[in-house]
Amino acid sequence: MYDIAIIGGGPGGYELAINAYNQGLSVLLIEQDKLGGVCLNSGCIPTKTLYQAASIYSMNGSAYGITCNNKIDYSKTIEYKDKIVFDLRKSIESSLKGIDLVSGVGDIIDKNHVQVNDNIYETKYIVIATGSKVIKIPGFEDDLYSYDILNLKELPKKLAIIGGGVIGIEMASIFSKLGVEVTVIEMSDRIIPNFDRDISKRLHSYLKNDNINFYLNSVAIKVKDKLIVKNDKGQFDIEYDKILVCVGRRANLSINNLDKLGIQYNNQGIIVDDNFRTSIRNIFAIGDVIGKNMLAHYAIYSGKQVLNTILAKEEQIDFGVVPSCVFSFPEVSMVGLSEVFLADKNIDYKVIKHLYRANGKAQAMNETDGYIKLLIKDDLIIGCSIIGYSSSILIHEVAIFIEQKIKISEIKNIIHAHPTLSELISEAIKDI
């Protein structure tokens, strides 16, 4: 009998497997495709590799008196991306020594048995970590989705992107910087609608200045080979070479016997408690499959909380403080409470903003677009949004302040090196 059987070898699954084994548990890890899940194979890692390529290709050195004629062999870019993914997957495999890794679909037979292919395994605990699937929309089934766009060997001339959420905006930013003519069609009244409204509007402005075309409050329809956009201003034909569909992801609930076992779920995903326990006491679910927060680091830390529960540790991870990042140009990041939440709960708060252009390092780097926005209550930072260069790094310092409830009066005494972008945080609070 295994101590724990994990169905799914993405970030949540394989990290839990390693951590559980290191704690002395016997572990069965089941993966039907490639280790690393969506994040490594067709999401976070390949996208950020292309993001880095786009950043280097589009770098403007004219302010420093540096000029060059950039050329790109995109097939080489894809080769490098594939190498990074391959190397990281091999690294994961080497980390799984001592863990029984089985290839195939994991079916839950009952609360203590899982089946893979023709073999049945007995286990004390089961963890469902099957991730999520892209949402496909009628009429666009044969077009590109996020996993397709990452494998193109040649850059399209004109790319139409349906969906202005995180994935759509990252792809728009990357391919625009690589010289592709990009059009984004979004049903909402703004891009990245789950982020701060002010930040969303500012990013929209920056991306428009980078020659990305936007249709907001709009619906895309395809008639044969014709792409039509409809909104309250009329109907428009969109020229394109490729269409990329980025309208979101849904929990992967393709697991046998959920209903028979009595594992509760809804349209979002599997229902869990604060310790990620399902309605069956020894069966847990983590990551995208619960549909709460589809981020790799959320999956990893939800797995850590499951292990805490199994080992009867009292440690409790604060899942109200989960940083989110958009790798656009410039980057966008957020953590903590939002203004929408605070307004809905009638909570009083104070807003503090500080501009990148007021920062010496940002000036020296010629990266002055953006600002940091802090939400303050009772001498505490309770929320933060940042738009600007390296915001995905800066946001973690604020995450510590929020999670540890460090008072602003104490933060003021923390010395920040000069000149650094981190001074944006200390400068923002100095006059409070």
Residue-wise pLDDT for 351-382, tens only, equals 999 999 999 999 999 999 999 999 999 999 99
Element (H, E) at 150: none
- Count, in order, helices (H) and strands (E) of the chain: 14, 22
Mean predicted confidence (pLDDT) in 287-311:
97
What's the rounded Cα separation, in Å, for the pair 33 and 105? 9
Token code pair at residue 152: 């193109």
Q: What percent of the chain has pLDDT over 70?
A: 100
Is the pLDDT assigned to residue 317 strictly greater than 90?
yes
Q: What percent of the chain has pLDDT over 90?
A: 95
Structure-model confidence comparison of residues 70 and 235, the more confident one: 235
pLDDT digits (tens, 9 = 90+) for 255-277: 888 999 999 999 999 999 999 99
Residue in this structure with the two tokens 């709009």, named with its chain if needed: 218
Residue in this structure with the two tokens 């572990």, named with its chain if needed: 27
**29 near 96, Cβ under 8 Å?**
yes
Is the pLDDT assigned to residue 325 strictly greater than 90?
yes
What's the rounded Cα separation, in Å, for the pair 166 and 327? 8
Element (H, E) at 95: helix 74-95
What's the rounded Cα separation, in Å, for the pair 27 and 189? 47
Element (H, E) at 141: none
Question: Mean pLDDT in the chain?
Answer: 96
**335 near 403, Cβ under 8 Å?**
no
State which amino acid sits at residue 188: S
Structure-model confidence comparison of residues 272 and 70, the more confident one: 272
Per annotation, catalytic residue among 354, 396, 416, 418: 418
Question: Helix H segments across 96-196?
Answer: 146-149, 166-177
Q: What is the pLDDT of residue 431?
A: 83
User: Is 354 designated active site?
Assistant: no
Bridge partners for 384 per DSSP? 335, 374
Is the pLDDT assigned to residue 135 strictly greater than 90?
yes
Q: 419 preceded by cis ω (within 30°)?
A: yes
Mean predicted confidence (pLDDT) in 218-245:
95
Q: What is the pLDDT of residue 62?
A: 87
Mean predicted confidence (pLDDT) in 118-145:
96
For 319, residues 6+ apart whose C-beta sits below 8 A from its C-beta are 293, 298, 301, 302, 305
For 67, residues 6+ apart whose C-beta sits below 8 A from its C-beta are 61
Is the pLDDT assigned to residue 60 strictly greater than 90?
no
Q: What is the pLDDT of residue 127?
A: 98
User: Which structural domains are found in the chain, ordered by start?
Assistant: 2-133+250-310 (3.50.50.60), 144-249 (3.50.50.60), 330-429 (3.30.390.30)
Beta strands 249-251 and 132-134: pairing type? antiparallel
Mean predicted confidence (pLDDT) in 197-206:
98
Q: What is the pLDDT of residue 342?
A: 96
Bridge partners for 126 per DSSP? 5, 283
Q: What are phi and psi of 110, to 5 degrees?
A: -155, -170
What's the rounded Cα separation, in Å, for the pair 202 and 318? 30
Mean predicted confidence (pLDDT) in 180-207:
98
What's the rounded Cα separation, in Å, for the pair 368 and 355? 8
Beta strands 332-336 and 324-326: pairing type? antiparallel
| CA distances from residue 200 to 144, 197, 312, 348, 386 in whole angstroms, order as listed | 25, 5, 42, 22, 11
Q: What is the pLDDT of residue 207?
A: 98
Is the pLDDT assigned to residue 219 strictly greater than 90?
yes
What's the rounded Cα separation, in Å, for the pair 337 and 191? 19
